[in-house]
Structure 1
Amino acid sequence: MSHWKSYFRFVKPYTKWIIVTLLIGILKFGIPSLLPLVLKYVVDDVVLNHGLSTGQQVQHLLIVLGITLFLFVIVRGPVEYMRQYFAQYITARILYDLRNKLYEHLQRLSLRYYQNTKVGEIISRFINDAEQTKNIVEVGMMNVWLDLFTLIFVLGFMFYLDPVLTLVSIAIMPLYALSVKVLYKRLKKLTKDRSAALAGIQAYLHERIQGISVIRSFALENYDRKQFGGTNGAFLEKGLAQSRWNAWTFAIINTLTDIAPLLVIGYGGYQVIQGHLTLGTFVAFFGYLDRLYAPLKRLINSSTVLTQASASWERVNELLKEPYDMVDEPGSGMLKADSCSVAFKQVWFKYHEDGEWVLKDISLNVNPGETIAFVGMSGGGKSSLVGLIPRFYDIQEGSVQVNGRDVREYTMQSLRSHVGMVLQDNFLFSGSVKDNILLGNPGAGEEEVMAAAKAANAHEFILKLPQGYDTEVGERGVKLSGGQKQRIAIARVFLKDPPILILDEATSALDLESEHLIQQSLRDLSTNRTTLVVAHRLSTITHADRIYVLKDGEVVESGSHEALMAENGVYAGLYSIQKLQA
């Protein structure tokens, strides 16, 4: 029941609305329940009342019709509208709150979580499973209670008409209870398996759409269709298993439902023949029988829906309970500085507790305004090292410091607001060029955006785009070249104006012309900032105050470009090879 309690925190703010909706629903379902009584009155007291003349019978009939028309047309119409609207309003608001909470939760999860979880799986829980949970309120907290009220209301009238016949009509209800207990336990597991299989399809589809260029370039269309057929087939198998169980459930429930009218017809007809029951009472009773088993059927259907909703909520709740690897430490302070120093003190780091050390005993200092560079073979730990400064990961031993304090002593938001990053593959969001630059400072004005673009050597090419700064860049910036995307990313950092700048192989994937423009922008960007550069092309970092050579997670050499060349060690060898290749 604990996972239900966690859902009710989303329901609690709307408790009053739910109560109002239930009261309106009682009126909505209560009015039709009067119809069999009206029928009894018409049959026994009007049609079969031979003490009344024909004119009096017609007069009584018209009075009854007038009253019922008022109830069913004038009263019930607005009541039906309000009940439906309020029910949809409440569920929509709860779903809105739930998705907001989910999104906030996703933003706080660590990069490690996203590296280990498929995006399609997350989207499936966020969209499909969250959507299913609305039935917990709409069905479980509204429809079920209204159907139970209808059952009690109808049973009250039935006992009033004939207690013995009522007992006959509900004789099969224990079988209903047994069926629900046996059938729906299995249905919940099958529903959860189907949801997991659907998430598998979404994860596969998301990944393949992202990599469609690879599939095309290797002519893998036929192979990929077969792979998708396997994933789709797994979903089909789970879906059919759920459908088979659903079919058995409805077959058994409907069979049980059909037995009750036969019992009433048999016993009630016999009572009318014997003169122990009036024809009007028998007709009214049969009318109530339908109103008894209609909500009962809905309750059974509600059990199916709630079983599916419960399975979906369990999947959503699993996501909500995903722990945060990275949290602000108690008593964390705000980082407020126009310039920053960075230091690594005997830092040891690995991504997983049972994994190998990625960084080993790293110690170095970067003074405010200095530029240092990290070079070395791929896998040496360069990107891992600079990723520790904005606290994308926490280290196991040692200390990463900004302005002499451990980064864990600052709030993550204030720490990261002081760090600007330009990566090899910068992510652009769908939207306009202006929207993407504004991510550096959402409150900036148009002139500031243009100034940042000019500083990044991006203003000129932006003006040549079809709508200039309002040009849509497409998903991940697909409508722009690599150099254009990179310059927009640099403009973003110019607009942010952070005291710490991290350049992680920011030009390694570009052509020489684009690299020349961007290197000029990066030189301007790093002026008067504490700059850490991860470089593949060593010719781009010869100006650095110090260069650190990393190999297998350790610093093997350090010094200026001239000093390292004079040592004729690892750095000199790498530089000579690249110069020869050039």
Structure 2
Amino acid sequence: MDSIKRYMRFVKPYKFLLFLTIIIGIIKFTIPLFLPWLLQIVLDDILLNDTLSKDEKTLQLFTWVGIGLALFFVIRPPIEYYRQYFAQNLSNNILFDIRKELYGHLQKLSLKYYANTRAGEVISRVINDVEQTKNFVMTGLMNLWLDLVTIIIVVSIMFSMDVKLTLVSLIALPFYAISVKYFFGQLRSLTRARSQALAGVQSYLHERVAGMSIIKSFTLEKHEQKIFDETNGEFLNKALDHSRWNAKSFAVVNTITDMAPLIIIGYAGYQYLQGNLTIGVMVAFYAYIDRLYGPLRRLVSSSTTLTQSIASMDRMFELMDEKYDVQNKENAIELPKAQGKLQFENVTFKYEANGNTILNKVDFTIEPGQTVAFVGMSGGGKSTIVSLIPRFYDVVEGAVKIDDLDVRDVMLPSLRSQIGIVLQDNILFSDSVKQNILMGNPTASDEQIIAAAKAANAHDFIMNLPEGYDTKVGERGVKLSGGQKQRVAIARVFLKNPPILVLDEATSALDLESEALIQDSLDRLASDRTTIVIAHRLSTITHADKIFVIEHGEVAESGNHEQLMNQHGAYYNLFQVQKLD
């Protein structure tokens, strides 16, 4: 299967450890096979041997039991320990490598993928599905082979004891193989459906936990409980379908395997009555039947486990196969230290190939060091324009250029490292204030962090937090006010110190006091660098060198505040409406 072949790439670096684990496992599984043989010796050669005296029988009995005790109490424990340790070490390292590669892959996927995919679905594949593949390592690459080797050894011992009895013991095997093939053919699709339903539950929970404040504020608890019950019920139905088929398979297979000992008892008893078999061989054979059909039962269980693992592999590799919408060209170059010149040359853009045109032949130039504002009604395309500069998306037609270089011709890290972005709702991670600021420059010193915080008017409030810079801000910065979150976000851009700055409605959702503090820090941040501002309140951008009015994905007007006011056009009308408000 293709998924298994691909999965073996992650196993290959650990092939020696896998080989060592299998060898130790074979020794571990072989040791218990000594017991039926010992039982035959004790019965036939000691207890039922009339040629030995009582003292000789006692001596031989305790000698053989002593050998058994040494085998199980001295040799087996370290073998058991190292087998378990190496097996877990191997599987956990493989899962570590897979998740490492998956996370690197997730960071390369474009924002379009995340706009169209629920976060819970992604998390389910990286956590649940990857974890399920551990069973392939433990079962398919180790236990499966160990059980097969055990079966071969047991059958070999049985043949050495009695050929006819061994052949009778194996009579159920063809029926066993047919039933396994029949039942486990459909199990893979049932397992995939079950995993998909589980991912649905996880996605729902992820979204609702994140939006619990909305649920509570609108008293939607009963409504949400009903929807969750439906989602959870869908998973229950898929899980029951899976369990029902699984139960049928085990019922049939176990019935077949349980018939074999009955056949052996009848045939062995007949052979004993005919004088062709000893009691010791009969008892040992019955014990070996358990050793034979025990691994066979495990192989049935392994079939279920492997089917589940392969279905999870399929989902895991589906995620790995997601194409990168935005990636470096083969001959991409490093973007030199940017001067800050920005050009949009007849840029047309759609989020989807068959979707609406968001930008239509947008054309403008921003000179180095200029402060430029984009204004207009919501949905006009302002935020789309700024998302094309760091190449979060690629244009459909035209070109976006920095210092006369097409952004598609330069390396992404060198491009994005020179652009700082402050949004209306900046995301902070549930770490310390210090770690959130450090995202602007992970190698910065404490002195540089404090300097950035002071420049962002954030140092004073940070020092008043319970643990200062080491205070945890909670998920998405929930423990900080809107203004505090903005100042931390601005501090990390100060630390990054990029030549190009993008401010996307960075003060529109704040109270007047916070806005004044943040506007002061933003003015300081915008000094001596190219700055692009998306503003809702026009009063905050009257100082801009140039203002572009965006309407329906096109540049409707451009000029400075005074020029646009004199035109009495779209900008003038917007300004008059806000002035009246």
TM-score (norm 2): 0.99
Q: Which residue of 1 aligns with 2:389?
A: 389
CA distance in 1, matches of 2:179, 2:122: 35
SS at match of 1:480: coil
- Give, in angstroms, the shift of residue 118 of structure 1: 0.6
SS at match of 1:398: strand
Q: Within the alignment, does 1:487 sit opposite 2:450 as a pair?
A: no
CA distance in 1, matches of 2:116, 2:59: 77
Q: Which residue of 1 aligns with 2:293?
A: 293
**Aligned positions of 1:464-479 closer than 5 A:** 464-479=464-479
Contact 2:347 2:361 in 1 (8 A): yes
CA distance in 1, matches of 2:461, 2:578: 31
Q: Which residue of 1 aligns with 2:579?
A: 579
CA distance in 2, matches of 1:45, 1:220: 78
Q: Which residue of 2 aligns with 1:38?
A: 38
**Aligned positions of 1:404-415 closer than 5 A:** 404-415=404-415
- Matched AA of 2:191: T
CA distance in 2, matches of 1:72, 1:474: 53
- Matched AA of 1:164: K
> CA-to-partner distance for each residue in 1:404-431, whole Å, 9 max, x for gaps?
1100111101100000000011000001
**Aligned positions of 1:83-482 closer than 5 A:** 83-337=83-337, 339-482=339-482
Cα RMSD between the aligned structures? 0.8
CA distance in 1, matches of 2:432, 2:88: 35
Which ranges in structure 1 are unaligned for 5 or more consecutive residues?
A: none
- Give, in angstroms, the shift of residue 338 of structure 1: 5.1
Q: Within the alignment, does 1:25 sit opposite 2:25 as a pair?
A: yes
More off after superposition, 299-308 vs 64-73: 64-73
CA distance in 1, matches of 2:356, 2:59: 94
Contact 2:338 2:402 in 1 (8 A): no
> CA-to-partner distance for each residue in 1:247-280, whole Å, 9 max, x for gaps?
1111111111110000000000000010011111
- Give, in angstroms, the shift of residue 239 of structure 1: 1.0
CA distance in 2, matches of 1:319, 1:326: 16
> CA-to-partner distance for each residue in 1:99-123, whole Å, 9 max, x for gaps?
1111111111110000000111111
CA distance in 2, matches of 1:434, 1:488: 9
SS at match of 2:388: coil
CA distance in 2, matches of 1:463, 1:52: 91
- Give, in angstroms, the shift of residue 339 of structure 1: 2.5
- Matched AA of 1:478: V
Q: Which residue of 2 aligns with 1:3?
A: 3
CA distance in 2, matches of 1:35, 1:461: 74
CA distance in 1, matches of 2:233, 2:86: 40
Q: Within the alignment, does 1:502 sit opposite 2:502 as a pair?
A: yes
CA distance in 2, matches of 1:2, 1:25: 28
CA distance in 2, matches of 1:521, 1:426: 16
Contact 2:3 2:310 in 1 (8 A): no
Identity of aligned residues (%): 58
Which ranges in structure 2 are unaligned for 5 or more consecutive residues?
A: none
More off after superposition, 479-488 vs 29-38: 29-38
- Matched AA of 2:91: T
- Matched AA of 2:358: V
TM-score (norm 1): 0.99
SS at match of 1:503: strand
SS at match of 1:549: strand
**Aligned positions of 1:507-526 closer than 5 A:** 507-526=507-526
- Give, in angstroms, the shift of residue 72 of structure 1: 1.4
CA distance in 2, matches of 1:273, 1:224: 72
CA distance in 1, matches of 2:137, 2:94: 9
Work out the number of aligned pairs and report it. 581
**Aligned positions of 1:516-555 closer than 5 A:** 516-555=516-555
- Matched AA of 1:59: L
More off after superposition, 448-457 vs 511-520: 511-520
Contact 2:437 2:495 in 1 (8 A): yes
- Matched AA of 2:419: V
Q: Which residue of 1 aligns with 2:70?
A: 70
